[in-house]
Amino acid sequence: MNAISTNKRSLGVNFTPTGEASVVLWAPLLESADIRVAGKNKIPLKKQEFGYWQLTTTELQPGDQYKFVLNNEQEFPDPASLSQLDGVHGNSEAINISDFNWTDSNWNNLPLADYILYELHTGTFSPEGTFAGIAEKLDYLKSLGVNAIEIMPIAQFPGSRNWGYDGVFPYAVQNSYGGACGLQTLVDLCHQKGIAVVLDVVYNHMGPEGNYLGAYGPYFTDKYNTPWGNAINFDDAWCDGVRQYFAENVLMWFRDFHVDALRLDAVHAIKDFSAVHILREIKMHVNQLMKETGRTHHLIVELDLNDPKFINPLEEQGFGMDAQWIDEFHHALRVTATGERTGYYSDFTSISHLAKSYQDAYVYDGQYSPHRFKKFGLKAQNNPGQQFIVFSQNHDQVGNRMLGERTSQLVSLEMQKLMAGAVLVSPFLPMLFMGEEFAEPHPFLYFVSHTDPDLVEAVRKGRKAEFAAFHALGEAPDPQSEETFTQSKLQWEILNQEPHQTMLRYYQALIQLRQNTPALKNLNRQNLDVVSNEETKTLLLHRWHENQHVLCIMNFTQEVQPVTLPTYADNWQKLFDSASLEWNGQAAAPDAISSGIPVNLQPESLVIYQNS
């Protein structure tokens, strides 16, 4: 087995300082492997141990197009290709990613606890739908208060329109977005502006079109079944080569693209019973890279297991992931705000579960789950607040709705403000989904641009079947239609209109308040009390740091509700009020009030007080 090097990429085509091309291919079951450079004769690779094939040549130069020839028969793109200019079925392009002229030598990431995350989709975030389009909006994001952008997957997918989760070349940056150099340019510019970059990567499945990994070797195993078919082979025969393939991919994003953090999609769908889980192995390699470079990198996971083993440190026999998304906070908040109880929302009983998530992160940490028909989860007692990422919406929670409605289309403006506040006063890392900060009314739909007609029809049928019970709402939008994609783009022109302009100022003020208030900024989960009232649907979140105490009081009903302030301090001074006239509210709460005196909370509002 090839040893994994932290200081350089070994797989695929790489160039030596002397200009030679080093070609390494993992294909353990082949009889022969050749590389065919466009316009030239094919060149044989030499078989090495553990299924690797190798070649060093001057016949391949940066910019050349090539494919591998397997067993003198079929030709396929490079599984570790860095560039697919002609899409997933075309030639691979040889590029030298170390040629980029970085200017971020003084950058060394932000502390994870300081992240204010903003999830965006490259194709729909800007009119251009490219990395350059994102770059044009960095000053806007900076003025919003965002300091970390989370970019949805950019691994090469079929066509030019895709959610990102149908990628089939984990090493190749989507050509229609700007390719490898475009991503490097964006990351470099982000760092100049003090913005960290989080990249969403998918290691639990591959997309269906252009997925040629199986032609090269046992990248998949039928030991386990996943929603996408056979699982990626992390623990079956020949898995060492597969593990190296994905571990090196992680290191590449950090080392060669200067990405600050990765968000690993749906790690609960990674099947691995090895003595060393692949996530644990990845963490060990990243630790070694950080030791060698002095740069800090974070690993964030999407996890649907409520198992702190994933985020516990290596020395405690955990997998060492730095943080995880908490869908349960979203679900509890959504049920509290809307009363929706279908599907997985049926597990959540309004405001008491929201209070529990503030206190314990996980809502289910050992109790019986009616939706799952079993006990579920473990307590996350010793995990700091920075290990949990919360949100009022994200790409999944919006895009998995048949009509892709954002919160702006489902609740009132006042409730939108309250939900934003509920996220931003939490003792966790907050994440915004692109456009929510100005109440974007456009949907975020599910879209693809497959080129295989049979696959296109299968996706259409699957989407219709998924929402068959919702036929009263009409037909599910066609995922293949360009109109579906266009409808999902942000409308930047509405920023100068109301209520969008006021909503943007509201988010800016709330983020600034969080950053400037120690009791909100410090993510100490121990310095927290929370009391909810199921009858009045009010919640009082008390957070403190040293001598500063802050009360965040929320009313999720459409009626005025009285809430009596606790006796943590004699007097309280108002810091923020979503019902203020400044935010187009109805009536503000008192600027100062004493303990034991009721505050009349306006409908669907948030008020924040500090001890005086």
Domain of residue 222, CATH code: 3.20.20.80
DSSP of 111-124: -GGG--EEEE-HHH
- The answer on 483 and 560 residing in a single domain is no
User: Has residue 472 got a pLDDT over 60?
Assistant: no
Per-residue confidence (pLDDT) for residue 465, from 0 to 100: 80
In a domain, 518, yes or no: no
- Quick one: pLDDT band at residue 86, thresholds 50, 70, 90? very high
Report whether pLDDT(1) > 60.
Answer: no
**Within this chain, do residues 48 and 125 fall inside the same structural domain, yes or no?**
no
Q: Dihedral, CA atoms, 329, 330, 333, 336, nearest 10 degrees?
A: -110
Q: Are residues 445 and 575 in the same domain?
A: no
Report the CATH number at residue 54.
Answer: 2.60.40.10
- Residue 549 assigned ligand-binding role: no
Residue 41 to residues 20, 44, 469, Cα–Cα distance (Å): 17, 10, 57
Query: Is the bond leading into 499 cis (omega within 30 degrees of zero)?
Result: yes
pLDDT band at residue 2 under the 50/70/90 scheme: low
Q: Are residues 160 and 299 in the same domain?
A: yes
Handedness of CA 268, 247, 446, 258 (dihedral sign): positive
pLDDT over threshold 90, residue 84: yes
Share of the chain above pLDDT 70, in %: 99
Same domain, 346 and 466: yes
- Quote the pLDDT of residue 567: 82
For residue 265, say whether it is annotated as part of any ligand binding site: yes
Look at residue 226 in the predicted model and tell me its pLDDT. Answer: 85
Same domain, residue pair 245 and 203: yes
Q: How many of the other CB atoms lie within 10 Å of CB of 133?
A: 18
Residue 387, marked binder: no
Q: What pLDDT, on a 0 to 100 scale, did the predictor assign at position 485? A: 97
pLDDT of residue 297: 98
| 302 in active site | yes
Confidence of residue 554 (pLDDT cuts 50, 70, 90): very high
Is residue 5, in this structure, part of any structural domain at all?
A: no
Question: What is the reported pTM?
Answer: 0.97
149 and 197 inside one domain: yes
Catalytic residue among 34, 93, 209, 302: 302
Same domain, 86 and 169: no
Q: Is the pLDDT of residue 528 over 90?
A: yes
Q: Can you tell me the mean pLDDT for 249-259?
A: 98
**Tens digits of residue pLDDT in 571-605:** 999 999 999 999 999 888 999 999 888 999 999 99
The reply, when asked if residue 266 is annotated as ligand binding, is yes
Residue 513 — left, alpha, or beta (φ > 0 → left; ψ -120 to 50 → alpha)? alpha
In a domain, 7, yes or no: no
Confidence of residue 39 (pLDDT cuts 50, 70, 90): confident
Catalytic residue among 265, 281, 347, 436: 265
With CA atoms as reference, report the closest residue to 576 among 529, 516, 495: 516
Is residue 107, in this structure, part of any structural domain at all?
no
Q: Which of 447, 471, 505 marks a domain boundary? A: 505
Residue 374 has pLDDT above 70, yes or no: yes
Pair 343, 445 in one domain: yes
Does 6 fall in a domain?
Answer: no
Phi-psi region of 69 (alpha: psi -120 to 50; beta: other; left: phi over 0): beta
- Looking at residues 416-424, what average pLDDT do you find? 98
Per-residue pLDDT averaged across 552-566, rounded? 95
**Are both 92 and 118 inside the same structural domain?**
no
Overall number of domains in the chain: 3
Look at residue 342 in the predicted model and tell me its pLDDT: 85
Question: Mean pLDDT throughout 506-535?
Answer: 97
- Name the residue among 545, 539, 538 with its Cα closest to residue 514: 545
Residue 467 annotated as binding site: no
Residue 349 lies in a domain: yes
Mean pLDDT of 383-410: 95
322 known member of a binding site? no
Q: What is the CATH number of the domain that holds 582?
A: 2.60.40.1180
| Residue 478 a catalytic site member | no
Question: What does pLDDT average to over the chain?
Answer: 95
Which ranges of 29-78 does DSSP label H, i.e. alpha helix? none
Q: Judge if 154 and 70 occupy the same domain.
A: no
222 is annotated as contributing to ligand binding? no
- The reply to whether 82 and 142 lie within a common domain is no
Across residues 196-222, what is the average pLDDT?
97
Gap between the Cα atoms of 463 and 163, Å rounded: 14
Q: Please report the pLDDT score of residue 229 as a whole number.
A: 87
Per the annotation, does 267 bind a ligand? yes
216 part of a folded domain: yes
Final residue of a domain: which of 44, 62, 97?
Answer: 97
Q: Name, in order, each residue with C-beta under 8 angstroms of 251's C-beta and a sequence gap of 6 or more.
A: 4, 6, 9, 285, 286, 289
What is the DSSP annotation of 267-317? Answer: GGG----SSS-HHHHHHHHHHHHHHHH----EEEE--SS--GGGTS-GGGT
Q: Are 11 and 1 in contact (CB under 8 A)?
A: no
Q: Domain for residue 102, yes or no?
A: no
Annotated binding-site residue? 241: no
455 marked ligand binding residue = no
The domain of 424 spans 114-505
